[in-house]
């Protein structure tokens, strides 16, 4: 059993990690996500606020990390990032399948491309660069990420999404049942597929680090070239194997 001081440290770090993933959370949302009491969550937040690591947004009761957290990584070498270690795996996949492949990780309610092989293949209708982002609910990488989050984290994400206008309409709570069926299907099949308005289909599989979902490995192809069933038969085993390799080297 952790000592009180160590437990407080672990909880404080968990709060910083949660606020880094989902900025603008309130005490109740944080307490639910981290399975802490409201009082404990408030005390930890106020300690971090006094030390300058988080800030409170006026009277709205929302908290977010400040730039002071950057000093915590001053001594860290950037070479051991997920995307850097995964690059050889992506290059191999792109050379074998010819279609562009990429890694996306979450940033608030978006998925952001961290590394992509778009520049190495002619089979693209539109080239995406590192840093391109898509709303989490409206891309296969975001859906596969949400499906593999723990329930508390997913609910917190969806609560935040409900406050944002997406495609000119806010996410409605009445869609929760439909989304629940989607998560179950993605978990069962181990992938998500999404067709864009440009008639490009994206297949995504989860990438795990320390048994927690960290992002997604994705591949795009022209929808006219094949249906999803054919694409899954041809590419899904290789994508899942590559995601497993990335999870291993990222540890």
pLDDT score at 76? 43
Q: How confident is the model at residue 127 (pLDDT cuts 50, 70, 90)?
A: confident
142 lies in the same domain as 233: yes
Tell which of 73, 105, 129 closes a domain: 73
Do residue 114 and residue 184 come from a single domain? yes
Query: What CATH number is given to the structural domain containing 37?
Result: 1.10.10.10
Pair of tokens at residue 185: 């299907």
Residue 91 sits in the same domain as residue 167: yes
Do 169 and 217 lie in one domain? The reply is yes
Mean pLDDT of 119-123: 84
Question: Same domain for 51 and 83?
Answer: no
Q: What is the CA radius of gyration of the chain?
A: 19
Q: So what's the pLDDT on residue 75?
A: 46
Clarify whether residues 24 and 113 are in a common domain: no
Residues 64 and 176 in one domain: no
Q: Please, are residues 96 and 234 in contact by the beta-carbon 8 Å criterion? A: no
State how far the Cα of 103 lies from the Cα of 112, in Å rounded to an integer: 8
Question: Which of 20-24, 80-84, 105-109, 138-142 has the lowest average pLDDT?
Answer: 80-84
Residues 104 and 63 in one domain: no
Q: Both 91 and 153 in a single domain? A: yes
pLDDT at 233 over 80: yes
* Residues 6+ positions from 234 with CB-CB distance below 8 Å: 226
Q: Considering 24, 55, 73, which residue would you say is the last residue of a domain?
A: 73
Which stretches of the chain are assigned E, i.e. beta strand?
Answer: 25-26, 54-56, 62-65, 101-107, 110-116, 133-135, 165-166, 169-170, 192-195, 200-209, 212-222
Domain limits for position 61: 4-73
User: Is there a single domain that holds both residue 209 and residue 227?
Assistant: yes
What's the rounded Cα separation, in Å, for the pair 143 and 138? 7
Whole-angstrom Cα distance, residue 172 to residue 251?
A: 38
- Domain count across the chain: 2
CA angle 188, 190, 193 (to 5 degrees): 110
pTM of the model: 0.67
The pLDDT > 70 percentage for the chain reads 83
Q: What is the mean pLDDT of residues 29-38?
A: 90
Q: Hey, which residues does 25 pair with through a beta bridge?
A: 63
User: What's the whole-number mean pLDDT along residues 110-133?
Assistant: 85
The CATH number that applies at residue 126 is: 3.30.450.40
Residues 239 and 169 in one domain: yes
Whether 216 and 100 map to the same domain: the answer is yes
For residue 44 the two structure tokens come to 């930890």
Lowest mean pLDDT among 115-129, 151-165, 200-214, 226-240: 151-165
The domain boundary residue, chosen from 73, 92, 113: 73
């Amino acid at each position: 059993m952790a000592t009180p001081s160590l437990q407080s440290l672990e909880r404080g770090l968990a709060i910083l990690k949660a606020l880094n993933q989902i900025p603008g959370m309130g005490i109740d949302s944080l307490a639910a996500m981290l399975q802490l009491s409201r009082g404990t969550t408030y005390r930890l937040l106020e300690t971090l606020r006094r030390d300058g690591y988080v800030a409170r947004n006026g009277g709205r009761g929302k908290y977010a990390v400040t730039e002071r957290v950057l000093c915590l990584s001053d001594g860290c070498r950037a070479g051991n990032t997920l995307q850097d270690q995964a690059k050889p795996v992506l290059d191999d996949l792109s050379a074998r399948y010819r279609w562009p492949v990429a890694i996306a990780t979450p940033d608030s309610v978006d998925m952001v491309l961290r590394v992509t092989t778009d520049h190495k293949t002619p089979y693209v209708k539109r080239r995406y660069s590192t840093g391109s982002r898509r709303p989490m609910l409206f891309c296969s990488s975001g859906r596969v990420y949400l499906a593999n989050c723990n329930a508390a984290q997913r609910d917190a994400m969806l609560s935040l999404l409900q406050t944002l206008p997406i495609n000119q309409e806010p996410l409605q709570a009445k869609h929760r049942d439909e989304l629940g069926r989607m998560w179950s299907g993605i978990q069962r099949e181990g992938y998500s597929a999404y067709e864009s308005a440009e008639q490009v289909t994206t297949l995504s599989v989860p990438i795990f680090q320390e048994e927690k979902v960290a992002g997604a490995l994705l591949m795009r192809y022209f929808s006219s070239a094949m249906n999803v069933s054919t694409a899954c038969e041809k590419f899904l085993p290789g994508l899942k194997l590559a995601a497993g390799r990335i999870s291993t080297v990222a540890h």
